[in-house]
Amino acid sequence: MTDAAMPSSAADDPPRPSRLRVLARRLWRHRSFRLGAGIVAVIVILALAAPLITNGQPNAMSLRNRFAPPSAEFWFGADNFGRDIFTRVLYGARISLWIGFASAVLAAAGGALVGMASAWFRRLDGVIMRIMDALLAFPAILLAIGINAALGPQVSSVIIALASAYVPRMARIVRAAALVIRELDYVDAARVSGAGARRIIFRHILPNCLAPLLVSVTFVFAYAILAEAALSFLGIGPPPPQPSWGNIIAEGRDYSVEAWWIMLFPGLAISFAALGMNLLGDGLRDVLDPRLKVEA
Amino acid sequence: MPKLIAFRIAQAIPVMFIVAVLTFLLMHLLPGDPATIIAGDMADQEAIEQVRRDLGLDQPVLVQLWLWITNLVHGDFGRSLMLNQPVAEAVAERLPVTLSLTLVAFAITVPVGIFLGVIAAVWRDTWADSAVMMLALVGVSVPNFWIAILSVILFSVTLGWLPSAGYVPISTSFWGWLSSLIQPAVVLALFQIGYLARMTRSAMLEVLDQDYIRTARAKGVSPRVTIAKHAFRNTLMQVVTVSGYIFSLLIGGSVVIEQIFALPGIGRLLVQAIMARDYPVVQGTMLLLGFAFVFINIVIDLIYAYVDPRVRYD
Amino acid sequence: MLDVQNLSVDFRVDSGWIRSVNGVSFSLAPKASLGIVGESGSGKSVTALSILRLHAQRTTRMSGAIRFDGDDLLRLPERRLREMRGRDIAMIFQDPMHSLNPVLTIGDQIGETLRIHQGLDVAAATRQAVDLLDMVRIPDAARRIADFPHQLSGGMRQRVMIAMAIACRPRLLIADEPTTALDVTVQAQILDLLRDLREDIGMAVILISHDLGLVAEFAERVLVMYAGELVEDAPARTIFESPAHPYSEGLLRAIPSPDEDVHRLYAIPGRIPDPGNRPPGCNFAPRCELAQPACRASEPALEDVAPGHLVRCPVKLAAMEAAR
């Protein structure tokens, strides 16, 4: 006589860790992500701890120490006014990182709004996308220069200018992701069962747009840091004497041969910050993007 | 195909219109009164008002917009306030400079970027891949103006090989022209090379994953031919779509580079005009750039449509 | 001609290596036709791809031997294997849309095989390609030769793939699910084509499919695979009329028949096990009606139940012995 076989059931499978845990673990294993996160963490910590590490006076002049080369007293040397470059770079970090962060997040928020609206409301789609195309016809930095010039030299205007310049790109990315979800059958199923537009957008579409959005935020952060430096360098960024990385380079440009340290260190700072962000973004993209295949 | 061309152009017209309106609006957000600036410090209220009337700035905004657009259609881009010359003329004088810079930079970016990307993809996960990707990463992370300064210190001041500033028109001397552009062009191209290398690598990896590559292997096609013929052509198509963006990045970067190397191009003109609140020049230049991009994108779309048999033979 | 001995294929994943195919052995005589059947995940495609070593080198490990005319394909230097690919052994794949290069004409792609293996120039290769298109029954071949894959229908694309494969008159053609992506009406045409070509050219064919009915009709012998292992090896007739392995029986029962009055389509209960998570003992035991405690304790071996008929089920074996 034979026994009836017991079919194996899902309950016998070992418990699966939550999706978030799995992603987090993969992220941590990813070399680029770790490196990028490390670099960014170091810079952020240094920036935040600036008042503790330095004497807290980025603008303190000391004519006695004009053009002091890097030494034990002035780690990064001193500029034409005798100001300590190390302190200025650290304080500059606070401004430049803040601008980068705020621009990226604002651009993401604006882009997400526009992109999802465009994907959901078919009738608006054409108009919105034409406007986005028009904005995309300008290089981001030109738009930023224009808007910034219109609003005046302040930190907030730089943020608004950079954010506006990157909104069209974010909108495009979000719209593409949202369109994919929207076409899926389960959205139709949800609609048929009476779910309202708002519920569908928030529960189904938004989570799936989060991944590409997050990846874009890191890359825009990197661009924004570079763009802000360029704007400051051109003289239309945060006004002196407030130090921003681009400012310091601009000020040091005239002395670049004799006092090379003035423009070397802020440049290195910008490079590392952008590098860290790019590495972070690479890691995020490698881990999140392939997982982004929506489970049907 | 001709239908596609017509369709693309038709699509571009509303975009160009919006570009024009946006450019106009942007300038009217600028604080600072051009009339006052033009009239000068010594002028009294009456003189300022006169200047304002001359420039048509006393009209309501919508009327100004209308006048501006109708002028545009007639090819009249207005007159520069600071240069006292028609905008079109000012731009035309500087166009060759920016064009030279951008084209030389583009000519450097494309082959180098694609080459690096292909190498990284084909020798995936080897030291070659890591080296290329690190280079590319550095390229997109360093500020181009900073590298420009460093480069000038090295190549112009220390070694004296290249000029540190100034533009030599090609009509004067070919080598002079080239040597005045090499440094700026290479520095300008760095970011784009990094971007293109990364993009090409991921595009090629995607292509190498495709079924038709497996078919080629199953037929006994050698690895070299598989890459060069089967994979590369498909990768190239994806790269074409991104070249418009690369061009736009180049122009954006040229604004700063022209400043550093004192190249009298459009980018430099634009920055000067913004500082001086020279509305006509800013409007005209940004408009021109906007139109140029719309046009470039159309051209690129058409090139792609021609190159991709799926679109061409539909 | 082809002798697969104890082939095992492992794939590298994050946590280590996973065995996808385990100890598969079979042989194929010249001009014979063999079918390999199994669900997705059974390892049938992996086995087929192994013959031409088409797996990604870095992440695949193969052991055992695959002898073709005496040479072990698994140990042959890459260059020699490349000479054989397309010339002595050819393969066609499941999805013709994605298996053809979208930017090259079909004339170019078919001619490529001829240019590589027979050294023909472009013009001669193209001429022969037109003849090949005729052979695979594509109408208006001379004009079609300059077409791109997207301009052809699914059935025609598969014919193009077949043309590419038979260009050098290979001794063995491996067809991996050639009809799965096609309409039912086209399926029959393609199989007829394969049958006729096999006779004309005198080549052996391995047909891989999840459809037992299809395979049993086409092939002389059938291999049934489950969870990476061979579970039955029998002449097609036998599989169809009296399959020995419970899995084969299940597959047979799952084929809907037009003259049965069914209320519910039969499906084998349960799911194929995860490659990383195979059950102890017999792979099929969790889903098997005949399973006994011994089945879960030790892994069954492939044994003769009759000449030319192997089965991996000691329970069934014992039952059939007793019946004699």
Nearest to B249 among A139, A229, A271 (CB): A139
The answer as to whether A203 is a domain residue is yes
Q: Quick check: C302 pLDDT over 60? A: yes
| Top mean-pLDDT range of A250-254, B280-284, C255-259 | A250-254
Mutate to test the interface with C, among B205, B212, B234, B308 (most CBs of C within 10 A): B212
- Please state the rounded mean pLDDT for residues B276-300: 82
> Quick check: B68 pLDDT over 80?
no
Query: Is residue A245 a part of any domain in this protein?
Result: yes
Range of the domain at A255: 51-293
pLDDT tens-digit series, residues A106-123: 999 999 888 888 887 878
- Domain count along chain A: 1
Q: Are strands C33-37 and C204-209 parallel, antiparallel or unpaired?
A: parallel
pLDDT of B256 > 80? The answer is yes
In a domain, A45, yes or no: no
pTM of the predicted structure, to 2 decimals = 0.86
Task: Quote the percentage of chain C above a pLDDT of 90.
Answer: 39
Q: Which chain C residue's Cα is nearest to A14?
A: C277
Query: Is residue A147 in a domain?
Result: yes
* Among the ranges given (B185-194, B205-214, C11-20, C264-273), the one the predictor scored with the smallest mean pLDDT: C264-273
Mean of all residue pLDDT scores within chain B: 84
Residues of chain C with CATH 3.40.50.300: 2-88+170-323
In CATH, the number for domain C2-88+170-323 is 3.40.50.300
Contacts of A5 in chain C (CB under 8 A): 285-291
**A18 in any annotated domain:** no
Could you say which residues from 203 to 222 on chain B have a Cβ atom under 8 Å away from some Cβ of chain C?
Answer: 210-212, 214-222
Residue A21 lies in a domain: no
pLDDT score recorded for residue A202: 66
| B116 sits in which H/E element | helix B87-122
Residue A32 lies in a domain: no
DSSP secondary structure string, A237-255?
Answer: SSPTTS--HHHHHHHHHTT
pLDDT at A1 over 50: no
The region of weakest confidence among A3-7, B54-58, B191-195, C285-289 is: A3-7
List CB contacts (< 8 A) between B275 and chain A.
149, 235-236
Paired sense of beta strands C309-311 and C303-306, if any: antiparallel
CB burial of residue A260 (10 Å; 0-12, 13-18, 19+): middle
Residue A15 pLDDT exceeds 60:
no
Specify if A99 maps to a domain: yes
pLDDT at A203: 67
Handedness of CA B224, B225, B226, B230 (dihedral sign): positive
pLDDT for B110-160, tens place per residue? 999 999 999 999 998 889 999 999 999 999 999 999 999 899 888 888 888
State yes or no: pLDDT of C72 exceeds 80. yes
Q: Quick: pLDDT tens for C103-141.
A: 999 999 999 999 999 988 999 999 999 999 999 989 888
Gap between the Cα atoms of C214 and A187, Å rounded? 37
E strands within A179-272?
Answer: none
CATH number reported for the structural domain that contains residue A245 in this entry: 1.10.3720.10
Q: C180-187 — which CB contacts under 8 Å span 24+ positions?
A: C180/C94, C180/C209, C180/C210, C180/C211, C181/C94, C181/C95, C181/C96, C181/C97, C181/C154, C182/C154, C182/C155, C182/C158, C183/C154, C183/C155, C186/C154, C186/C155, C186/C158, C187/C214
Q: Taking residues C14-41, what's their average pLDDT? A: 88
CB contact under 8 A, C292 and A7: no
